[in-house]
Structure 1
Amino acid sequence: MSKLAKPSRLLHKLSHQLFATPQEQTKFIAALTQPQTFPPTIIWAHQPDNNQVELTDLETLPPVSWQPEFVTRLAAKSQPGKHPLHEAGYFYCLDFSSVFTASALLAINQPIDLAIDMCAAPGGKSVFAWRSLQPNCLISNEIIGKRIGILISNLKRCQIQPTHVTSSDSEKFAHLIPATADVVFVDAPCSGQSLLAKGMQAPGCFHPVTINKNANRQKRILANSAQVVAPQGYLAYMTCAYSIAENEQVCDWFLQRFPQFQPLSVSHLAAYQSHLTSMPCYRLFPQEKLGAGGFVALFRNTATGEKGEIPPAFWQQVKFSL
């Protein structure tokens, strides 16, 4: 794994923004400059029957208190992507931080008719939402064309259906299907700071220009997505960044712009409440050794009125259906 030769001035600055004590600042910096291997995690899209091969050759770890029953953590050196059940589509591999952020969806009341994953590739959040929410219809959207292939491949392999894959800007969703979705979740493009905790590169991820550029993009996507949420529907916002400007401050901006939305407490994540705000929102940091890190907030549209219907013209946006 790659390592930062020494903590940058901007990383030090961020650590001071996030943590009040030198001890916590040091732990956070160490987690990024001395990256570790986090235990791999799998989402069971389909549980194998008793008479089929199981994960007998992979060591599992005890679940944490809030871990969904359809998620399994494995020992750090496991290679679930090479297991026959992976190729057969029984499970999807991802970082446990993604499970953490997606688990806010477990606080949503069912049943769900329409759920939309606004930034879907490579597909982990769509698989999680399909398994946890059991929507009658799931739309997985990915605006970056070169990422559509892997999204479709993963959804096909895991047999996530009924699902429709689109590649449209969030603004088009707001224009074509306003107030239609019971749930919209936005795993927003971000500065990618948590990549460092996994030993990967994220050039410029702490630079103010990079952070501000991403924060502005996140606000635009979130504002468009809000218009797609039906009255009494839900909107989840997630990132894998640490910066306050991409997380709490985006949520503050959103609530000022869309006062009909109210932040919801997610009881099973109460221990991870962000210490940087009193608003219900949740953070996982890499020094906690569960995953590279993530942020999530869940909102409810308190507006009243009729739920919209999807017009036939929208389905022209669909690239692939399962």
Structure 2
Amino acid sequence: MGAPSKEPSKPLVKLANRLFDTERDRADFMQALLHPPVFAPTILWTQPKPPEFSWEVLPPLPWQPAFVDRLAHTVRPGQHPLHDKGYFYCLDFSSVFAVSALLSIPEAIESVIDLCAAPGGKSLFTWVALKPKRLLCNEVVRKRVRILISNLKRCGAMDAIVLNQDPAVLVEQTPNCAQLVLVDAPCSGQSLLAKGQAVPGCFHKVTLNRNANRQKRILANAAQLVQSSGYLLYSTCTYAPEENEQVCAWFLKKFPQFVPVPMSPLSLHQSPLTELPCYRLWPHTDLGAGAFMMLLKRQDRDEVQPVNEVFLTQHQLVLYAETR
């Protein structure tokens, strides 16, 4: 006898009905969460690709950066010696989608703060793509700092500055100091279901409201770290509109000095739930478990504040010492 079929729960059916207009999309979405597909392994090259590299690489998407490869399903990149040598970082392709918005920024970016940096994939993407002179990688949860530092060190980002601070402390100590702030916000993690992981309570209203309120608090602090003419990238790995489009609408009302940035290369991924230029990757596209993203630019004029070097010196975590 085969394994018993899984039936969608009422909360999942309700969410699918909110997200999609067609029965086919609803069914495909629920199928991806109930019977997770096997996604192609994805690697972010943090060092030049060796000429002898011979893995089977899948055709790139039009917006996919050259330093990212999707590999054949049979490849196990994490087991290759190049992984331990720091040549690449393994990540879900959804993460590549979420941070690919940075490729649309026309200006040179010299200063970046990744407010929710662990485990480090988006920090490393930014480090490779934009080559900023200063990269601050902040992680509030202390137990997650170790893996963040380990990944930065392994992949060679030794010039990154790692912090373990509440965003409100950063605003107090060094406001308006970054040309780019990344907020890959803590969320209900509904996309983990598409990876075969259990996420109890991820559809519950209490969970959604708690996460949305936390996301708003982080974004409110992030807004105060962005310089004039700077950028703010907001992303999550969940599907609920309460944590995505509705948070973005709240932010734009609360901080009218920011305007959303349309990204024509991602037009096919425009969220159907809003007219704002928000972008989604769905789990039933067979690309990744799912992601939401919106890029914003600050348009008002304000004095750029110097970075509080004393604060950074006193609070940065030494890469070598933290990973011994």
Query: Structures share a fold, TM > 0.5?
Result: yes
Per-residue deviation, 1:234: 0.2
Equivalent-residue separation in structure 2 for 1:312 and 1:235 (angstroms)? 22
Task: Map 1:1-322; keep pairs closer than 5 Å.
Answer: 5-50=6-51, 54-56=52-54, 58-315=55-312, 316-320=314-318
Tell me the amino acid that sits aligned with residue 28 of structure 1. Answer: F
* 1:46-87 deviation per Cα after TM superposition (whole angstroms, max 9, x unaligned): 11453xxx432x321111111000000001231100111111
Equivalent-residue separation in structure 2 for 1:268 and 1:175 (angstroms)? 37
Equivalent-residue separation in structure 1 for 2:231 and 2:193 (angstroms)? 31
Specify the SS of the correspondent of 1:271.
helix
For normalisation by structure 2, the TM-score amounts to 0.95
- Between 293-302 and 157-166, the greater mean CA deviation after superposition: 157-166
Specify the SS of the correspondent of 1:319.
coil
Equivalent-residue separation in structure 1 for 2:56 and 2:124 (angstroms)? 23
The runs of 5 or more residues in structure 1 that have no matched partner are none
- Between 226-235 and 3-12, the greater mean CA deviation after superposition: 3-12
- Between 16-25 and 226-235, the greater mean CA deviation after superposition: 16-25
Q: Percent identity?
A: 52
Per-residue deviation, 1:142: 0.5
Equivalent-residue separation in structure 2 for 1:3 and 1:154 (angstroms)? 39
Between Structure 1 and Structure 2, how many residues are aligned? Answer: 317
Equivalent-residue separation in structure 2 for 1:205 and 1:282 (angstroms)? 21
Specify the SS of the correspondent of 2:317.
strand
* 1:125-164 deviation per Cα after TM superposition (whole angstroms, max 9, x unaligned): 0000001111001011111111111100000000014200
CA contact (8 A) 1:261 1:302 kept: yes
Per-residue deviation, 1:23: 1.5
Equivalent-residue separation in structure 1 for 2:5 and 2:74 (angstroms)? 23
Per-residue deviation, 1:20: 1.3
The runs of 5 or more residues in structure 2 that have no matched partner are none
Equivalent-residue separation in structure 2 for 1:155 and 1:243 (angstroms)? 31
CA contact (8 A) 1:165 1:319 kept: yes
CA contact (8 A) 1:237 1:296 kept: yes
Specify the SS of the correspondent of 2:215.
helix
Q: Which runs of 4+ in 1 moved over 6 A?
A: none
CA contact (8 A) 2:186 2:215 kept: yes
CA RMSD of aligned residues (A): 1.5
Equivalent-residue separation in structure 2 for 1:4 and 1:125 (angstroms)? 36
* 1:84-118 deviation per Cα after TM superposition (whole angstroms, max 9, x unaligned): 11111010000000000010111112321210111
